[in-house]
Chain A
Amino acid sequence: MKSLDKMLVEFAQQKLATQTRRHFLMDCVSKVGGLAMAPLMFGCDTGSSAASKGLNLSQRDLNPLAPLPPPFGAKAKSIIYLHMAGAPSQLELFDFKPELIKYHNKPCPDSLLEGRKFAFIQGTPNILGPQANFSQHGESGAWISDYLPHFSKLADEVSFLKAVHTDQFNHGPAQLFMQTGSARLGRPSLGSWVTYGLGTENQNLPGFVVLTSGGKTPDAGKSVWGSGFLPSVYQGVQCRSKGDPVLYLDDPEGMSRNLKRNVIDAINTVNQEEFNAYGDPEILSRINQYEMAYRMQIEVPEVMNINDEPESIHELYGTQPGAESFANNCLLARKMVEKGVRFVQLYDWGWDTHGTDHDGSIDMGLRNKCREIDRPISALLLDLKRRGMLEDTLVVWGGEFGRTPMQENRDGKTQGFLGRDHHVDAFTMWMAGGGIKPGLTYGRTDDFGFSGIEDKVSVHDIHATILHLMGFDHEKFTYDFQGRPFRLTDVEGELINKILA
C-alpha cells in the first residue's frame, strides 16, 4: 500500500524519479536486446543454408513473426489493452451526471425509450442515480468517482473518451466488434492485425499475449483473440497463471534441459539433412521454430514468474505470486512489453452489473471489481512511466459497451440489487501513453448520460486511432481475402485527431 501511495504523492509533486529514456534503451540492449538477437542470428544460420542452395528467402519466409518496420512513423511500439469484460458502468466511474440524482427512482422519460431496444429492460424503467461520489481531479479537472481513488490521481496522464458508442448490445457480439471490428465471426482481432503488420521484437516470447482474470474467459470465447482469415500464427497466445504458462510449454518429467537440447539438436540435424535432400524452405522454417520453441521454454516461464520481483513491486501492484489476478496480469503485461512483446491483451471478467445478485450490483459488486483494478492500473501506468516505457506503450482501457442510466427491471420485475442494463449509445474508455495527449477529456454526453452529444467516437474510430499510433494508415492496412481487401475498420473509422499528442 505504502509504495503506491508514496509514488502517487511523488507523481503529484512532479518529482517522479524516472530513468531517462536513454538509460532504458541502454538497459534493453544488454538485457532484452541481447536475447532478441539470438533468433536473428539463427535466422542467419538457416538463411545461409538457404543461400547455399541459392534460395532467395525473406526473413518472413523463415519466421512469420520477424519484426517489420511500421509503414509510417509510429508513436507506440507496443500495446497493453485492458478489456473489462461484461462492460463497466461509466455512470459510476467517469461520466458524472448530477441530473440522474434528481430523477433517481422516477420513471425514465419516454423520449429516451422511444424506438429503443434493450437487452433486459422492459416497459418503463426507473432512472438510477449515480451510486458513487464524484469529484474533479488533476489539472485537467477530469471527473472520476471514489470507486477509483488511486487512479483518480493519474487523471492528468490519460485521455478520456466520454462518448464512445457501439451497435451491439449483447456481450459476445459486442466484444467481437470491439476486438475484431465486426460483430460477425471470422475477422482477425486487433492484436492479430498488429502482429501481422509489425511482427514482434522478441522471438522467444509470443508476439501477441492474452492474459485473463476473473475466473472466466470473455463471453465471445477465443475468437476475440483469433486470427480470423489471417494465418493462425498471428492469433493471441494465452499465457496462464496456473498449469503450463503456455500450453505444452513444460518439459515432461525425466526430460532435463540438457536432454531437451539434445532432442532439438537431433531433430534439427535430421531436418537439415532432409533440407539438403528436398530443398523445401519450409524445412528451414521448421528448424527455426524448434529453436524458438526451445528458447520460449526458458523465457516464457521467466517472464511469467513474478516470485523474484522486489517487494516494492508487489506492494505497488498488489500482486500475489501464484494467483490468477488482474493485478498479476498488469505486472506481467509490463514485464512482457519490456521484453519486446508487441501486444498484451488483458481480459478481466465480472463487470456485468445487472443487479441480479450481490456481485452484479452497481453499489457493491462494482465497487469490489474497482478495488481489484484501481491499484494495479495505477501501478501499471506509474511503473511504465518511471521506466520510460509509457511514451511508446499505448494503454487502452474499456469494456464492450456501457450501462443504462435506467435501473434494470429484468422480466418486468424489480431486481434485488441495484443494476444497470447494457447500453450502446454512450460509454467511456480511456487511453494513455504512446502518442496520446495526456489530461484530456474528449466527448460529452447528454444530461442523462444516455447519448453522446459532442465528439462522439465509434469503435472503428478507436481502431483507426490505435492503428495510426502503431504506424498504419487504417485505410491502407489490408489483407486480401474472398477476392477483396479487408481492413480492421471495414469501410469506416476516422482518426480521433484531438487526442493525439
Chain B
Amino acid sequence: MNNLKIAGFLTLAFVIAILGFLIFGSEKEVDYSTQIKPILNKHCITCHGGVKKNGGFSVLFEEEAFAITESGHAAIIPGDPNGSELIKRLTASDPELRMPYEKEPLSKDEIDLLKTWIKQGAKWGKHWAYQTVQKPKEIEGKLTAGISPEGNVTASNSIDFFVSQKLEEQELEFSPEENYLKLIRRASLDITGLPPTQKITEAYSSKKISYEEAVDQMLAASTYGEKWATWWLDMARYADTKGYERDVNRTMWPYRDWVIRAFNKDMPYDEFTIEQLAGDLLPNPTQDQLTATAFHRNTMNNDEGGTQDEEFRVAAVLDRVSTTYEVWQSTTMACVQCHSHTYDPIRHEEFYQSAAFFNNSRDEDTHDEEPRLRFFSPDEKTEIASITKWVKENEGENAAKAREDFLTYLEPKYPSHSAVDFVNATLLDSKWLGIEGNGSAYLRNINTQGSDQLLMEYSAGLDGSKMTIRNGGPEGELLASFPINSTGQIIRPIPFKEIKGTVDLYLEIENPNAKPDQTAARFIWFAFVPKLEGENKSGYAAIQKSWEAKLNFRGTKLPILIENPDYMTRETRVFERGNWMILGDKVQPGTPKELNPWKEEWPNNRLGFAYWLTDKENPLTSRTLVNRVWDQLMGRGIVSTLEDMGTQSDPPSHPELLDYLAWKTMNEYDWSIKSLIREIVTSKTYKQSSVISTELFTKDPQNKYYARGPRFRLSAEQVRDQALAVAGLLSDKMYGPGVMPAQPDGIWQTVYNGGTWTESTGEDAHRRGVYTFLKRTSPYPSFLSFDAGSREICLSRRLVTNTPLQALVTLNDPVYLEAAYFLSEDMLAHGDSNPEKAISYGYQKLILAPISKPKLAALEKLHTEASAQYKKNPAELNSFFGWKDRTITAEQASMTVVANAMLNLDEFLTKP
C-alpha cells in the first residue's frame, strides 16, 4: 500500500467519523449484546420470543425483530426511534397499549438506550459467546514482575495481568503468596487429587526442585489422570449400571480406563473429543478409538418390563444431543427440544438437525446393549488374524474387513424386538421375540445383502421344533428351514437362500409337542454374514471352527457407538413439542446457524460434527474447556454458570482472560490440557494465600476478582482418597472393574435386580474413589453425602455443601476409623512415647505445616481425655472400633481417637 492510498484511507475514515458525529452526535455506539439484548431479555422476550410471539412480534431472531408484525408494520425502524412502534408502545400512556403489558414500565435509561440504539441503526449483534475467539492483543510487555513495597506479589504471567486489571478497577490487591508447603499441598490436591508424595515434598522443601518443577512432576504422575478423569466422568455420566428401574450392572470400566489413559498421555482435547464422539467413523479405528465412543453409551438403558425399546432409544439419542451441547458448548438444548430457545438464538429445528447426527447409531436400547466392543485376548487376536487372512485370500480385502468388524462388534444385525404381526408369538418382557409351538412373526424391511448365511442369537427350552423362514409371507419362497432344539443362548450360523433387496421375512415355528402358550424359542437378533469361502482348501475346517468359536466370545464387552450402514439409515424428524410420538418435518443433519460455519470437506455425519465442534472457529468449545478447568482449580468459573455460556449466563468476570486462555489453549498449546493447568497453577493468582480479611470478604465475598487464593472443601473422592493416603492405606493399583469397598448393609434394595454389593478384599478395599463401583439408583453412600452425583445425566458442576451428614461420615464410617488407626500407628512410631511430639508429627504430615500452640493444646487435651477414659474403662478396648482381630492398647486407642479428630479438621478436608 503506498502512502497516497494510506492518505486516501485516512481521509475517508476522517470523513466517515465526521459524518458519524454529525448524524449520531457524540453518542457512544450502543452495543447490542451487552446493552440491548439484556433489556429485551428482561422485559420483552417472555411474550415476544420463542414460544410466544404476541402481536406477531419477536425479538429472538434478527429477521423476526425487523419483520412486519400483525399490525402490518415493522415494530423497529432502524434510524427512526420515534417512528418505531417499539418505542411508542414503551412510552404509551394508555395502559392497554403500554408495554410491558400490566407490568412495571421500563426505566427512562433503558428507553433512552433503546432509542439511541434504533437511532444508530438498530444494529443486531452476536453475543460474545458466539463470536470466534480472537488472538489476544500482545500483553507480555506490560507485565511487571516482582514484589510490591508492601511485600505483595505483583503480576507475573499473562493470567495475572488480566486479573490485576480487574483488581485495580475494584481497588483490590493480590494477597501474598501462600505458605510454600501449603501451596504445594494445594497444587498436588488439584493436579493429582492427593497430597504431594513424600519424594516431592522433600525435594521441594529442601529446594532441590522449584515449584514449577514440582508441578511438572505432578502432571507427569499417573495419579493426575485419575483425578481429572473424575471430573470428566461426571460430564460423561459414567456409571457401572444401566439406570432406570432394574438398574442392572453394565461393563463400562474400559471406557473409564480409556479416559484415565487419555488424560495421562495428555491427549489433545480436539482428538479427545473426536474419538469419543466419532471414533468408530475414523478410518480403520483402533480398539482404543472404538472404546472412546462408549462416552455416548453411558446413556441409560431401560430394562423395566413393559417399556418400549424405541422410546428409550430415542431418549438416549436426545440425551446425547443435550449432553454433547452441555459438555462442549455450555449450551442447554433441553428447552430447544420442545420449542425455539427463548433466550439463546438456537432454533427448535436445529436441535433435531443436531439429533440427526446422533440418530444413526446401531444401538436400540436392547437388553444386551449391543453393539459391544469385544476385548479379545492376544491369543484370540492371533486367531482372528488368521481368519482375516483366510478371508482376504479367498474373498478379498473388503470382505476381510467386514468379517473382522463383525467379529469385533457384531454389526450390522437386526434386534428381534422389531418383529411384528405376531401369531402365537410375542415380545417377551417387551424385549425379545418369542415364538410358540405353532406361531409366526414378521421381520419387515430386512436387507440380507444377498448373504447365503443367517446368523442368529437365540435360546430354546424345547426340543424338536422346525423353523422356516420365507420371503414375504406363509406362501412365500422358502429361504431357510432348520431344526431348533433346546439350548442355552448361542449364536448359530444357518444356510440361507441368497436374495436381493429389501424384503419382509416371515418366521414360523412348528412343534407338535409344544403345549399351548409354550414358547419354543426366544430370539435375540438376526444378522446376515456370508459363509466362509474356500471350502475345498485345506485348513478350512479349522478356520470355520475358529470363526464360530469367536462369534460366541464370552469375555469383556463394552457398549460402543457404531454407525448404521446405508441400508439401515434412520430418518430424523422434528418431535412436535418434544413428544417422540408426534413426528413433524424430516430434517437433515446440520449445526446451529449462529455458531461456526460448516466446512464442505467434513463428512456429513458424527465425525463431521466432531470436526465442527473442534474447529478453531467454534466459539464455545475452547471457552467452555478453559472455563471448566479454571473452575476446577479456582473454585469458580470465569463464567460462573458452567453449564451455560450464552445470553442468560452470568457475564464473564474476566472476558479477556477467558479468550486469552481459550486462544492459547487452541493455538499455542495445541489443545493440551496439562499445559493449560500448568499455566494456571503457576500464576501468582493461583499461588496467593487464601486468608480472607474482613475487607476482602466484604468487597468480594465470592472471590470473583481473585484477590486471594482458592480455598474449598475437597471433593467426595478426594476426601476419602486423602484419608487413605495419609494413613498409608491407599492402593496405587490402576484400572479394571469397579471395586466395592465396605458400605453399610442394606444400601442396595433395587427392585428386580439380583445385584449384590460384594465387598472387595485386599488392596481393592482401598482403591481410589474413581474406581468405586457406581450404581446409579444407589451410589456409594458417603460419596453422595459429599456432593458426588448419581451420574444419571451430565453433571457440569458439583455444588459444594456443608452438612452434618458429612461430619458423620468422616467421624464414623469404618473407612475413616481404619485410616485413623494406621495414621495413629505412624504418629506413635514417630512420637518417642511423647504424645505432643506424635501429634505434632501427625499434623505436619496432614497439613504440611507446623502445628500452632493452641491447636496442639486442643489435640493434646483430647489425648489426655481419651487416655483417662481407657485407663478407667479398659473394657472399652475390647473390640475397639469394632475390630475383632486387633489388640489395642490404651495408648493406641487414645492416639487413634486423636487421629480420628485430625482427619475431621476443616483444614484437612479443605484445599488450603
B398 at the A interface (CB under 8 A):
no
Q: Mark B856-880, 1 if CB is under 8 A from A, else 0.
A: 0011011001100110010011011
Interface segment out of the listed A67-75, A269-277, A384-392: A269-277
Tell me the smallest distance from the CB of B45 to a CB of chain A, in Å: 11
On chain B, the residues within 8 Å of A243 by CB distance are 744-746
Report how far A483 CA is from B648 CA in the complex, Å: 5
On chain B, the residues within 8 Å of A262 by CB distance are 861-862, 865-866
B334, B342, B693, B897 — which one has the most chain A CB atoms within 10 A of its CB? B897
B377 at the A interface (CB under 8 A):
no
A253 near B804: Cβ-Cβ < 8 Å: no
Given A119-B307, A280-B692: A484 and B877 interface contact (C-beta under 8 Å): no
B644, B801, B861 — which one has the most chain A CB atoms within 10 A of its CB? B801
B808 near A296: Cβ-Cβ < 8 Å: yes
Kindly identify, within residues 721 to 774 of chain B, every residue whose CB is under 8 Å from any CB belonging to chain A. Answer: 744-746, 749-751
A226 near B713: Cβ-Cβ < 8 Å: no
A172 at the B interface (CB under 8 A):
yes
B782 near A172: Cβ-Cβ < 8 Å: no
A301 at the B interface (CB under 8 A):
no
B641 at the A interface (CB under 8 A):
yes
B304 near A279: Cβ-Cβ < 8 Å: no
Closest-by-CB residue of B relative to A203 is B804
Report how far A278 CA is from B873 CA in the complex, Å: 39
Tell me the smallest distance from the CB of A133 to a CB of chain B, in Å: 30
B691 near A248: Cβ-Cβ < 8 Å: no
A349 at the B interface (CB under 8 A):
yes
On chain A, the residues within 8 Å of B512 by CB distance are none
B812 near A290: Cβ-Cβ < 8 Å: no
B807 near A293: Cβ-Cβ < 8 Å: yes
Contact of A258 among B429, B809, B869, B882 (CB under 8 A): B869
A216 at the B interface (CB under 8 A):
yes
Report how far A214 CA is from B223 CA in the complex, Å: 44
Report how far A421 CA is from B305 CA in the complex, Å: 11
B430 at the A interface (CB under 8 A):
yes
A9 at the B interface (CB under 8 A):
no
Kindly identify, within residues 758 to 812 of chain B, every residue whose CB is under 8 Å from any CB belonging to chain A. Answer: 776-779, 781-782, 784-785, 787, 790, 792-793, 799, 801-809, 811-812
Kindly identify, within residues 219 to 274 of chain A, every residue whose CB is under 8 Å from any CB belonging to chain B. Answer: 219-223, 226, 230-233, 235, 237, 240, 242-244, 246-256, 258-260, 262-263, 265-267, 269-271, 273-274
Contact of B905 among A64, A271, A281, A422 (CB under 8 A): A271
On chain B, the residues within 8 Å of A274 by CB distance are 855, 905-907
Tell me the smallest distance from the CB of A60 to a CB of chain B, in Å: 12
On chain B, the residues within 8 Å of A223 by CB distance are 777, 790, 792
Closest-by-CB residue of A relative to B775 is A221
A253 near B880: Cβ-Cβ < 8 Å: yes
Report how far A118 CA is from B307 CA in the complex, Å: 9
Closest-by-CB residue of B relative to A271 is B906
B252 at the A interface (CB under 8 A):
no
B548 at the A interface (CB under 8 A):
no
B812 near A232: Cβ-Cβ < 8 Å: no
Contact of B643 among A220, A247, A481 (CB under 8 A): A481
B812 near A248: Cβ-Cβ < 8 Å: yes
Report how far A240 CA is from B869 CA in the complex, Å: 31
Closest-by-CB residue of A relative to B861 is A266
On chain A, the residues within 8 Å of B909 by CB distance are 286
B859 near A215: Cβ-Cβ < 8 Å: no
B694 near A186: Cβ-Cβ < 8 Å: no
A246 near B805: Cβ-Cβ < 8 Å: yes
On chain B, the residues within 8 Å of A483 by CB distance are 332, 343-344, 641, 643-644, 646-649
B567 at the A interface (CB under 8 A):
no
On chain A, the residues within 8 Å of B779 by CB distance are 222
B834 at the A interface (CB under 8 A):
no
On chain A, the residues within 8 Å of B802 by CB distance are 64, 233, 282, 285-286, 289
Kindly identify, within residues 93 to 125 of chain A, every residue whose CB is under 8 Å from any CB belonging to chain B. Answer: 117-120, 122
Interface residues on B, range: 35 or more
Report how far A251 CA is from B865 CA in the complex, Å: 17
A290 near B804: Cβ-Cβ < 8 Å: yes
Interface segment out of the listed A14-22, A51-59, A442-450: A51-59
B778 near A172: Cβ-Cβ < 8 Å: no
Report how far A244 CA is from B747 CA in the complex, Å: 11
Closest-by-CB residue of B relative to A279 is B692
On chain A, the residues within 8 Å of B93 by CB distance are none
B422 at the A interface (CB under 8 A):
yes
A263 near B862: Cβ-Cβ < 8 Å: yes
On chain A, the residues within 8 Å of B880 by CB distance are 252-254
On chain B, the residues within 8 Å of A231 by CB distance are 787, 799, 801
A283 near B906: Cβ-Cβ < 8 Å: yes
A149 at the B interface (CB under 8 A):
no
B479 at the A interface (CB under 8 A):
no
On chain A, the residues within 8 Å of B713 by CB distance are 282
A237 near B805: Cβ-Cβ < 8 Å: yes
B904 near A267: Cβ-Cβ < 8 Å: yes
B517 at the A interface (CB under 8 A):
yes
Tell me the smallest distance from the CB of A484 to a CB of chain B, in Å: 6
Closest-by-CB residue of A relative to B690 is A278
A171, A240, A349, A422 — which one has the most chain B CB atoms within 10 A of its CB? A171
Tell me the smallest distance from the CB of A267 to a CB of chain B, in Å: 5
B777 near A273: Cβ-Cβ < 8 Å: no
A411 at the B interface (CB under 8 A):
yes
Closest-by-CB residue of B relative to A249 is B808
On chain A, the residues within 8 Å of B244 by CB distance are 172, 220
On chain A, the residues within 8 Å of B809 by CB distance are 247-248
B697 at the A interface (CB under 8 A):
yes
On chain B, the residues within 8 Å of A120 by CB distance are 305-306, 430
B428 near A411: Cβ-Cβ < 8 Å: yes
Given A483-B648, A484-B343: A232 and B784 interface contact (C-beta under 8 Å): yes
B854 at the A interface (CB under 8 A):
yes
Q: Mark B562-595, 1 if CB is under 8 A from A, else 0.
A: 0000000000000000000000000000000000
A247 near B644: Cβ-Cβ < 8 Å: no
B881 at the A interface (CB under 8 A):
yes
Kindly identify, within residues 658 to 713 of chain B, every residue whose CB is under 8 Å from any CB belonging to chain A. Answer: 690-694, 697-698, 711, 713
A169 at the B interface (CB under 8 A):
yes
B307 near A170: Cβ-Cβ < 8 Å: yes
Closest-by-CB residue of A relative to B859 is A266
Tell me the smallest distance from the CB of A338 to a CB of chain B, in Å: 21
B811 near A54: Cβ-Cβ < 8 Å: no
Kindly identify, within residues 338 to 359 of chain A, every residue whose CB is under 8 Å from any CB belonging to chain B. Answer: 349
Q: Mark A21-59, 1 if CB is under 8 A from B, else 0.
A: 000000000000000000000000000000001111000
12 contacting pairs across A/B (C-beta < 8 A): A64-B803, A117-B308, A221-B777, A233-B801, A247-B808, A263-B904, A267-B901, A273-B852, A283-B906, A290-B804, A296-B804, A296-B808
B residues adjacent to A (C-beta < 8 A): 244-245, 247, 300, 302, 304-308, 332, 334-335, 342-344, 422, 426-430, 434, 517, 641, 643-644, 646-649, 690-694, 697-698, 711, 713, 744-746, 749-751, 776-779, 781-782, 784-785, 787, 790, 792-793, 799, 801-809, 811-814, 817, 852, 854-855, 858-859, 861-862, 865-866, 869-870, 873, 876-877, 879-882, 888, 893, 897-898, 900-901, 904-907, 909-910
Top 9 A-B pairs, shortest CB-CB distance: A221-B777, A119-B306, A483-B648, A483-B644, A293-B807, A266-B862, A293-B804, A269-B858, A54-B694
Other than the given A293-B808, A411-B428, A484-B343, 16 more pairs (CB < 8 A) read A56-B698, A117-B308, A120-B306, A206-B805, A221-B750, A221-B776, A231-B787, A243-B744, A247-B781, A263-B900, A278-B692, A296-B804, A422-B306, A482-B332, A482-B643, A484-B332
A residues adjacent to B (C-beta < 8 A): 53-56, 64, 117-120, 122, 169-172, 184-186, 206, 212, 215-217, 219-223, 226, 230-233, 235, 237, 240, 242-244, 246-256, 258-260, 262-263, 265-267, 269-271, 273-274, 277-283, 285-287, 289-290, 292-293, 296-297, 349, 411-413, 421-422, 481-484
